[in-house]
Amino acid sequence: MGLKSLSAVSAGICGAFLSPASALAQQQGGRYDYWSPHMMWGGGFIGGWFMIIFWILVIVAIFLGIKWAVNSGGSQGGARKESALDVLKRRYASGEIDRDQFLAMKKDLEN
């Protein structure tokens, strides 16, 4: 999954979550209307700015989680790759190849 498609997914999630909230924030109601524009946008830090900061943090966390999952999706999970010489040494140590084969292959790798 590329970064363009991750951006599209993030934009879709933003639209899905924020559209209903903005529609409810613009409702006009009666005496006990708790979803008035004043409560959502003009009610101080907890009413408006906290909601905006909260949703930005949620969206960033989702984006970073998807990015991390894509980057660590390999079978090694971010482990260091072994060099050819390390693989050769490991095979010699485990007895898969004998000394003559090890020396010949090591000579080939060094040239």
Domain ranges of the chain: 3-71, 82-111
Can you give the length of the chain in residues?
Answer: 111
Global confidence as pTM: 0.32
Q: How far apart are CA 33 and CA 79, in angstroms?
A: 56
Long-range contacts (CB closer than 8 Å, 24 or more residues apart) made by 24-32: none
> pLDDT for 8-32, tens place per residue?
677 667 666 656 555 555 555 555 5
Residues 42-73 have pLDDT tens digits of: 555 566 777 888 899 999 999 999 998 888 76
